[in-house]
Every structure is written in structure tokens, then in C-alpha cells.
Structure 1
């Protein structure tokens, strides 16, 4: 199946709309053997009636079957009602021989942010279950699921992106198609291909880019996405499904990490003192890791009394430790106290492994940022240590996690994620959001730790920490329930290519 993926036409009578780019791309689509065209929203610029009338006329130039999902600009000025009148349904299902396309409205009236929540989430889940027998399942919405590079401040994803991503992965969805940020990009998240289209005919491109659309080919081999710009430049990625998906570690275990976060040590009732004591005992007597990594929010507030309490717990851990500050640690006098009690996080080299700390916490805010200097430093370090097994450690999660509002993102998550995946980084450990989660983006596993001892968490498994076991040929991550010691598998991934050992 061959699909033309267009987005963000922003049709209007204003200068924002580039009519010649629209006509050029439509003419290309009409002369190529596409089976279908999918438009992932922002058909209009302001959701006004005259824009919808103009858009309805222009879209008729496309001589192929057309599916259109609404975008946030289409929902302005109660434009979602006009969308149904002039363009088509806000939700829908399109069946073809071996597959199904399910599109859903992700917009929130008069906001740039998106959400597939409540009844919309239930509807999407029901449709994925109804068509679970289909080999190819394609989900379509306007807002992106994974942070994008070169978008400035990374904020306008789905509020519940983690839940939606988890839903798509658990239902073996082949492809998620979206637009919104005017940046073409393709990521593989486990076996799910996430394809963002750039803007087809809007003047607002990023970093001097030009208008573009995606060419998506779906076959028995997998999914190939080609980004085609109006200049004729093409850049493609092909993704073949992982088989088999269940692995058995071979050879000896090379390294073990205990990965925890959000201990939030304090004298408040939400801090579970007995749980952290139990975890420290288990680390010393049962798991005996090569390294313990705490990914932030060591204390509940950045005051001396809480740091005094926290240091007693962590000094009693016998293994070597790397402690990263979280946003709670950087409240009040926290920045100074953290350095006084735990020191400035430094790179740790242990045999063939290197652990690169990345400070994302900012003073008095849960929002994180690495910054342009930090990004350059990270890129240089990943290149410098390219012969080693590189583990990047930071507080804020780089991909959305289930049951958590998107508020925890890094402002520059898109650029940081791109640097990490472009370098084929072996592992990333994070710890924000109060829920454990693990997913592989491109060739890099990203593992988030839940809260180890704070009652206000989002994890149905309860307080927990992770065990990361690295073998000669794979990485296995288990979540350990902090009270009872029961475990469940979070993720297991093969290590491809040459490894240091």
C-alpha cells in the first residue's frame, strides 16, 4: 500500500498559506500511484467559514481517496463543527484488504495542546480491539506522541501521550501518523513507526526548512517512510518488525544496575521510611549491584533537615552510587545543599561502561531543560565514549509515560532525544513522573523508574525500583516491588552490532 501523508496546509486568504506549494505537492500526488492520501490536520489556519469553503474547494483537487483528521487550528472559533460540514467526520475507520486506518480527533478547542482522553480514548481502544485481526493497523491524529527535534519549546504534545503510546504498543499498531509541529520526522518505537509530516503549504517552517510531505509504503517487509521536500530532496527510513520478540539471555551477565528514583525523603506521612529501609537492605544483601543510580527527587523539599535524613540512607548502600538531582531537590536551598551532601554528578567509568549524568532539573519548577550548551556537551561526550557502553542518566523522562500528564517533559526533549538516538546510545535511565516504564526508540532503550518510597505515585505496581541486567547480547530490565520483592519484566532488548567486550 502506498500512502501520501500531508499535513498542516493552513489554508487561508492570508500570507501564511503558500498556494504554489500546495499545488505542486497535489500535482505530484496525482501523478504518482498512491492508493490513498492522509491529511493529519490543520487544514485551515483559523477555523473560519471562508477558510473551510476555500479548503473544501482545494482538497477536491486531490484525485485519490482522502482521509482528513482535524488539527488544533481547525478547532479554533468552534471550527470543529465546520470541519464536519465542509471536510468530513472527526473520527472514522477506513478498511482495506489487509488492514485498517483509524483516525481520531485529538484537538482541544482554542488550545494548541491535544488530548485523546475520556470517551475518545475508549472509542480508539474499542476500534483497535474490533480490528485486532488486521495485519496492518494505522492510527491517525494531529498531535505527535514523541518529542520532535528542532521545534523550539517542546510542549504541544498530547496531554495523555503516554497512555496513547502504551495503547498503540499493546495493540500492535503498525503506524501512527501525525503532524502539528511542522517538522518531518520518523521514529521507531519498539515495533511502532511514528511518522510526523512537515507542513505542506504553510509559510511557518522551522530552521529554514521547506514544505514537504511523506511517502509511506507498507508491505510484508515492514514500513518505509520517505520525507519528500518540494525541492525534490528525499530522505527515507525503512523499519522491519523485530522477530522473535522474546529473547533468552546468552552468556554471562556483564553488569548490574539498581535504578531508583523519587525517594522524596522527608518527615511527611507520604514518605515511607520502612520501604526505603527495606530497599537498602535488599540492595546490600540480595541484589549486590555494580552501581546504584538514583534519578532525582532524593528529598521532598530542598531543606537541610531532609538532606540530613537522606544521606543516612544512601551512605548505608555499599555499592558505588551515582545520584542525579530532580526538581524537588532544587527547591529552596536545594541546589547548594545537593552539591554539599551528594557532590556534583560526574562521569563514572567502570571497565567498558561509562555513565554520563545530564542535569535537567531547574530551580523551583517541575519543567526541565538541558539547554543548547548541555546538548552540545552531550553530543561530544557520546562521540568521545563511542567505544564504550554508554548510559545517559537524567531526571526528566524523554518519552511520555502512562498515567502521567505531559508536564514532566524537558522543554528541549526533542533535541536531546535526537542526539541520543542519532548516536545509537546504548541505554538511557530517567526518573520523573512516579511510574515505571521502558520503551526502545530507534536502537536506544529508555527506562524510567517509578517512585521507590513516596506514597503519591502513579504506579499500580506500587513503590518500586528497577534492576537493569546487561548481558553479552542483551539488556533485561525488571521492576521490583519495593515492599514484597516481587518482580515483573519491563523490557528486554538485543544488543546489536559490536560491543566493547
Structure 2
């Protein structure tokens, strides 16, 4: 399976984010996936699919992702508009669901967004829903997906937007020993770690990259990327990040925000 995240498309195909044409960048990533990682079972699209949410934006997102010929399961990020996203990913190959069972694995897709905020929070109701989904599943393994980082990654400005009730979230996770991994986007960089035997993973954006370990907003010169995963029957996760060997545009690495 594959993770594609933080595509940041605009209302028109010529939209650029700090010098990078996000549409061309997404197309290049999809070409790379097609060349290196097909066939595959499915794609997880973990939010911020739009930079400027509009029906036309999401129509193009789904059109590009559909080129892979795979089911695409998405969840919203803080730049997305959930109603528009739900409408666009409602039917066909592109889907907006709360969970999926596939080949002995349960995939859970959580909305971590707060309307009008860049940050993340899980309400008591959302945590109860997560608890129920994990308790009711007979799958021996689970992968939990969200947009925001549920742990601090050592970048102060990004960590201010991390999930703000991490202890409550992990109290649920810790009750269910079948959880093998947690995966997210948002931070525009690769991160790997473990917590109580659970793999923790973030993935580069298909467009601009943020500088790891930076206290303030800073861009990295790394190329756009995506993640591949092999989920094994014994619950182990084999995974890696692929990056393009070029950047489709001149990124303004001196930018102090966007």
C-alpha cells in the first residue's frame, strides 16, 4: 500500500506554493509511484489535499489519484474543507470512510482537525469511537491514520500544532494491543519512531518540505515524496520513503511562512 499526503492543490492547475507548482509535483509523484510501486492494494491520502478548498480543486485531486487505478481512502487536514472533501471522495475509486478491513488488517481513518484552527484535538466522542472500532474488530492487526502528528517531532513550530490531547489518545491505543502502527502527514517530512512497540510514521509532502528540527518555520531542499508499506500477516510493517530525483519548480527556501 501507499501513503500520499499534503498535496496542497489550488483552484487552478497553475497554483504555486512558495515557488513550487503543486499540481505538477503531484503528477510527478504519481508517475513515480506508477513506475516503482504498482501493483499495490490501496492508497491512503492523509489530508491537506487542497491548499485552497473548492469543488474544482478536489475534482482534480481525485482525477490525479485515480490514475493509479487503486482504491484511495482519504481523511481531512487543516487546509481541507471536510464537506467538499467528503463529496469529492464519495464513490468510485476515491473514498471517505472511517475504517476499512483488508487482508487481516484494520485501517482506521481519524479526523484530527479543529474547524478554524491549524491544530488538532480528539473530542471525547471521537476517542470513544476509536475505542469502539478497535474493540469491535476481529482483525489481528490495526493501522491508525490521521493528519496531525500525535507525538512531538522535535520541531517547535510544528509541535505547537500537534494533537493537543496526546495522553488521552494513547490511553485508547494502549488498551488495544493489535495496533501495530500510527501514520500521519501534516509535518512535510519523514519521521519514524516507536512507542510501546507501535511504529510511528510521518511522510514527506508531495510538494514543499519543512526543515526537520527547526524551531521556526523553515523549508528544506529535499524533493517531494511518498511512503510505501508492506503489511505482513504477522503484524510487522515494512516501509520506506521514496522521493523524486528532481523538484518541479524553484522553491523559495528563504520563506518565513505561507
Task: Please state if 1:83 is matched with 2:85.
Answer: yes
What's the secondary structure of 2:34's corresponding residue? Answer: helix
Which of the numbers 159, 162, 166 marks the counterpart of 1:157? 162
Q: CA shift at 1:204, angstroms? A: 4.8
> For residues 47 and 7 of structure 1, do their structure 2 counterparts lie closer, same or farther at Cα, with a shift above 3 Å needed?
same
8 Å CA contact 1:151–1:183 kept in 2: the answer is no
For 2:16, the equivalent position in structure 1 comes to: 15
What's the secondary structure of 1:174's corresponding residue? Answer: strand
8 Å CA contact 2:104–2:139 kept in 1: the answer is yes
Superposition pairs of residues 208-219 of structure 1, within 5 angstroms: 208-219=221-232
For 2:33, the equivalent position in structure 1 comes to: 29
8 Å CA contact 1:205–1:211 kept in 2: the answer is no
Q: CA shift at 1:34, angstroms? A: 1.8
Report the Cα distance in structure 2 between the residues aligned to 1:61 and 1:153, rounded to whole angstroms: 32
What's the secondary structure of 1:100's corresponding residue? Answer: strand
Q: CA shift at 1:29, angstroms? A: 2.4
Q: CA shift at 1:203, angstroms? A: 2.9
Deviations 1:69-113 (A, max 9, x none): 111100xxxx21111111246542111121111112111112100
For 2:204, the equivalent position in structure 1 comes to: 198
Deviations 1:341-367 (A, max 9, x none): xxxxxxxxxxxxxxxxxxxxxxxxxxx
For 2:237, the equivalent position in structure 1 comes to: 223
Bigger Cα Rg: 1
8 Å CA contact 1:37–1:66 kept in 2: the answer is yes
Task: Please state if 1:139 is matched with 2:144.
Answer: yes
What's the secondary structure of 1:102's corresponding residue? Answer: strand
Q: CA shift at 1:161, angstroms? A: 1.7
> For residues 94 and 84 of structure 1, do their structure 2 counterparts lie closer, same or farther at Cα, with a shift above 3 Å needed?
same
8 Å CA contact 1:71–1:107 kept in 2: the answer is yes
Q: CA shift at 1:151, angstroms? A: 6.2
Output the TM-score relative to the length of structure 2.
0.80
Task: Please state if 1:189 is matched with 2:195.
Answer: yes
8 Å CA contact 2:181–2:198 kept in 1: the answer is yes
Moved beyond 3 Å, runs of 4+: 88-91, 149-153
Could you list the runs of 5+ residues in structure 2 that have no partner in the other structure?
212-219, 247-258
Which of the numbers 4, 7, 28 marks the counterpart of 1:6? 4
Q: CA shift at 1:49, angstroms? A: 2.8
Task: Please state if 1:110 is matched with 2:116.
Answer: yes
Deviations 1:405-449 (A, max 9, x none): xxxxxxxxxxxxxxxxxxxxxxxxxxxxxxxxxxxxxxxxxxxxx
> For residues 36 and 176 of structure 1, do their structure 2 counterparts lie closer, same or farther at Cα, with a shift above 3 Å needed?
same
For 1:324, the equivalent position in structure 2 comes to: none
Deviations 1:174-215 (A, max 9, x none): 111111111111111121111111101x23543322211111
8 Å CA contact 1:91–1:105 kept in 2: the answer is no
Report the Cα distance in structure 1 between the residues aligned to 2:3 and 2:66, rounded to whole angstroms: 16
Q: CA shift at 1:152, angstroms? A: 4.0
> For residues 221 and 96 of structure 1, do their structure 2 counterparts lie closer, same or farther at Cα, with a shift above 3 Å needed?
closer
Task: Please state if 1:176 is matched with 2:189.
Answer: no
For 2:217, the equivalent position in structure 1 comes to: none
Task: Say how many residue pairs are matched.
Answer: 224
Report the Cα distance in structure 2 between the residues aligned to 1:204 and 1:192, rounded to whole angstroms: 25
> For residues 112 and 90 of structure 1, do their structure 2 counterparts lie closer, same or farther at Cα, with a shift above 3 Å needed?
farther
Question: Greater shift after overlay, 205-214 or 168-177?
Answer: 205-214
Q: CA shift at 1:221, angstroms? A: 6.6
> For residues 7 and 151 of structure 1, do their structure 2 counterparts lie closer, same or farther at Cα, with a shift above 3 Å needed?
farther
